[in-house]
A = this chain, B = another copy of it.
Amino acid sequence: MITGDSGFLKEKLKECGYKFTGQRSAILEALIQCTGQHVSTEELFNMVKVKHPEIGLATVYRTMILLDKLGLVHKLDFDDGFSRYELVKPNEDHRHHHLICSSCGSVSEVEEDLLDSLEEQILKKNGFLVKDHRVQFYGLCRNCRG
């Protein structure tokens, strides 16, 4: 079954000279299932294995590197020893920020950017032209603040 999203993947792959395979499609489906989460490569591997027991871990690693290169996912690092990934949302023009709770470890997202004035100032003072950013806030989430 080819979903709309698989269609998008197929186009993107062709456009960049790559082949559309069952494995790549299955991995994208698993990613869609985890929307809003931040899955590790091994977690993805285990999800995909349910329907496709023959898939190899190396394929998932290779695919994530490819999807990152194609701009379909963002690689995340929460310093827990694994590479984690999240799907890039359709109209996302910049990386959103992550709120990491130091108490319970939950990770949530902030849609607001609000870095424009800071990035402008960086251009003026440092001569550095910002094209992207990675922002993580550490602290206490609503539940853990009590």
Task: Say which one of A3-11, A24-32, A54-62, A115-123 lies at the interface with B.
Answer: A115-123
Tally of contact residues, A, Cβ under 8 A: 35
A-B contact pairs, 27 of them (CB 8 A): A77-B79, A99-B128, A101-B128, A102-B131, A108-B128, A110-B122, A110-B126, A112-B121, A112-B125, A114-B117, A114-B118, A119-B137, A128-B141, A129-B139, A129-B140, A129-B145, A130-B138, A131-B138, A131-B139, A133-B135, A133-B137, A133-B138, A134-B134, A134-B136, A134-B138, A135-B135, A135-B136
Number of copies of this chain that the complex holds:
2
Q: Are A130 and B122 in contact (CB under 8 A)?
A: no
A114–B108 Cα distance when bound, in Å, is 22
A127–B128 Cα distance when bound, in Å, is 33
11 further interface pairs, Cβ-Cβ under 8 Å (given A126-B141, A132-B139)? A77-B77, A101-B128, A108-B126, A112-B125, A114-B121, A119-B137, A127-B142, A131-B140, A132-B138, A134-B134, A134-B138
